[in-house]
Homo-oligomer: A and B are copies of this chain.
Amino acid sequence: MIREWKAQLLRAWPAVLVLLLYLNPIAARAATDSLPSWNDGPAKAAIVDFVARVTAEGGPDFVPVRERIATFDNDGTLWCEQPLPVQLFFVLDRVKALAPEHPEWQSEEPFRSVLAGDIKAALASGEAGLVKLGMATHAGMTTDEFDKIVTDWLATARHPALKRPYTELVYQPMLELLAYLRENGFKTYIVSGGGIEFMRTFSEKVYGIPPEQVIGSSIKTKFEIRDGKPMILRLAEIDFIDDGPGKAVGIQKFIGRRPVAAFGNSDGDQQMLQWTAAGDGPRFALLVHHTDAEREYAYDRKSSMGKLDKALDEAEARGWTVVSMKDDWKTIYPPQK
């Protein structure tokens, strides 16, 4: 019986080869297929060249699959962060939704300004004010409850200018890049200053990134048994800020090994890119530069949110890849559903 199968296998060898190639999930695919929303140019060429080198078995830059870790900032790198980061729109909407239970907010800043629709005044309260708003909207419930609150909000909220759900305002070229890296054996992570539990509600569905590969800022939590039911409560106390140097710290804490590729768009990503680029062997560091005022937003050195200044200088000095959204991307967002 075995001998018979062997003979059949030999006869069917071309067909089996095709089948095996088709089944091999990490076979390198032609980049022209994998990155259709990228214009040909130095950025796309650098990506394709890097992937080809680290996946070339026996080559000098080969990286084993287990080491193929790629980390992505979220706000401004994977999805739109203007005119405000999405999570801030969530905060503003939640303050309005919760206001009936908090009559004291009518006279207490920064709540008063939020309720009066004066976002500029609310933001003028600085970091202390932002923390107050964050805790009032992110703490005081279980993790399961928070998950539901965010999921429900994302299902109905719309970008003020573009009138689309925020989860559709993700960058099509970056979705392709995530998929392309995964096809080539990379494990893709989010490493963002945004809230870890906030992002986990949509990361798998929108980016194909499971919750266990999302790293973000967090508040403390507490395990408790209430009426015989175990739950995890979200406390009004900051646990970890996953931004700037915190991104390198967060990567070591959660992943425990250094990425070989990192992708960001602001000075808050500078240390993640430094930490990644300084490892031994082939490394890749990329910055998305928001240069497209027509199709998206144009901002960099003077921006109050998503500022790209020191990291841009370092990218130029070290030869990190800088993507010009205007020149390098054929499209910005996926087609409207």
Contacts and interface: CB of A to CB of B under 8 A. Distances in A.
A contact face: mostly helix, strand, loop, or mixed: helix
Contact of A15 (B9, B225, B246, B275): B9
Work out how many copies of this chain go into the complex: 2
Nearest to A221: B249
Interface stretch (A31-39, A119-127, A254-262): A254-262
A143 B252 contact: yes
Interface stretch (A106-114, A167-175, A208-216, A322-330): A208-216
Given A5-B15, A221-B249, 11 more contacts: A5-B14, A23-B23, A197-B256, A221-B252, A223-B245, A223-B246, A223-B249, A223-B271, A224-B245, A229-B278, A232-B248
A271 B230 contact: yes
A115 B181 CA distance: 52
B257 A211 contact: yes
Interface string A160-193: 0000000000000000000000000001000000
Contacts of A200: 256
Interface string A218-259: 100111110001101000000100000110110011111100
10 contacts: A6-B15, A12-B16, A212-B255, A212-B257, A223-B246, A225-B274, A230-B248, A230-B271, A230-B275, A232-B249
B275 A211 contact: no
Contacts of A293: none
